[in-house]
């Protein structure tokens, strides 16, 4: 299974790629720049101690990946996805994006006409199967390499695609995937990230999510 990242050179892409590479998956780090992609891939491969990881321009990552993880900033999504739509047709797309805003330093969620970042991605990629996941995992914590021991809430409209993404998330040691429901539940799950950022500031930590009773 080849996992390709679109915008994989930032903290969230690198953190997730590192953890999935350690789990033995083949990874492509996509970027607008082949050089930045190669540099990031080299850094992640060295950190993970693996060789099954390479860089590529986003369009090649989109073509070659079997599951595609979107890790561009939400503001960049609407311009980034349409040129990749043909290459992403029929594929599972994992939306990690959060439409964060800061009002007087306080984190919140921007109003998105489609409802959420994940639903916007689905509207832009009508031929793909978008699943929301990984929103509540701290990039710093992923990259730091310690125990994670938390849940990943997964939302999607197609059970098969959602189950594949839940299985992917559980490849990461210390992660349990929890079915969050239909793609529209991404509105709630993305919002939890704003909540966690506030908690992180107050408690000076990198908080995560654990659902009890499941
Ligand atoms: N950081 C976290 O802890 C965290 C946690 C949960 C979810 N997320 C979500 O994960 C996503 C990535 O977060 P991040 O902190 O890694 O973001 P980031 O560093 O701001 O951006 C990630 C990558 O996206 C590409 N990019 C930036 N601006 C772009 C533009 N205008 N057009 C196209 N590509 C652009 C860049 O890659 P190239 O320049 O190489 O193309 C960049 O390295 C976000 O949607 C965020 O909401 C982040």
- pLDDT for 101-123, tens place per residue? 999 999 999 999 999 999 999 99
Instruction: Determine the 3-state secondary structure of 6 from DSSP.
Output: strand
Cβ of 11 less than 6 Å from ligand 1: yes
pLDDT band at 140 (very low <50, low <70, confident <90, very high): very high
Cβ of 76 less than 6 Å from ligand 1: yes
Residue nearest to atom 20 of ligand 1 (CA): 73
Higher pLDDT, 153 or 147: 153
pLDDT for 195 equals 98
Q: For 9-28, what is the mean pLDDT? A: 98
How many Å lie between the centroid of ligand 1 and the Cα of residue 45? 19
Long-range contacts of 98-105 (CB under 8 A, 24+ apart): 98/74, 98/135, 98/190, 98/193, 98/194, 99/74, 99/190, 100/74, 100/193, 100/194, 100/197
Q: What is the pLDDT of residues 26-74, one digit of tens each?
A: 999 999 999 999 999 999 999 999 999 999 999 999 999 999 999 999 9
How many Å lie between the centroid of ligand 1 and the Cα of residue 212? 30
How many Å lie between the centroid of ligand 1 and the Cα of residue 9? 8
pTM of the predicted model over 0.85: yes
- What is the atom index within ligand 1 of the atom nearest the CA of 100? 47
pLDDT band at 168 (very low <50, low <70, confident <90, very high): very high
pLDDT band at 176 (very low <50, low <70, confident <90, very high): very high
Q: For 155-161, what is the mean pLDDT? A: 98
- What is the atom index within ligand 1 of the atom nearest the CA of 13? 16
pLDDT for 173 equals 96
Radius of gyration of the chain (CA): 16
What distance in Å separates the CA atoms of residue 27 and residue 43, rounded to the nearest whole number? 13
């Amino acid at each position: 299974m080849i996992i390709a990242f679109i915008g994989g050179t930032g903290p969230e892409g690198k953190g997730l790629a590192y953890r999935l590479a350690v789990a033995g998956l083949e990874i492509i780090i996509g970027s607008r720049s082949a050089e930045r992609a190669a540099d990031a891939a080299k850094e992640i491969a060295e950190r993970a101690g693996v060789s099954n990881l390479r860089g590529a321009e986003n369009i090649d990552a989109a073509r070659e990946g079997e599951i595609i993880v979107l890790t561009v900033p939400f503001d960049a999504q609407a311009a980034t996805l349409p040129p990749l739509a043909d290459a992403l047709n029929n594929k599972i797309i994992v939306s990690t994006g959060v439409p964060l805003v800061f009002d007087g330093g306080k984190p919140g969620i921007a109003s998105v006409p489609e409802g959420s970042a994940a639903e916007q991605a689905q509207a832009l990629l009508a031929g793909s199967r978008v699943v929301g996941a990984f929103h509540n995992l701290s990039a710093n914590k992923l990259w730091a390499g310690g125990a994670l021991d938390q849940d990943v809430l997964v939302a999607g409209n197609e059970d098969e695609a959602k189950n594949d993404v839940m299985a992917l998330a559980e490849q990461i040691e210390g992660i349990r995937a929890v079915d969050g429901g239909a793609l529209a539940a991404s509105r709630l799950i993305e919002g939890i990230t704003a909540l966690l950022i506030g908690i992180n500031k107050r408690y000076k930590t990198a908080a995560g999510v654990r659902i009890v009773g499941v």
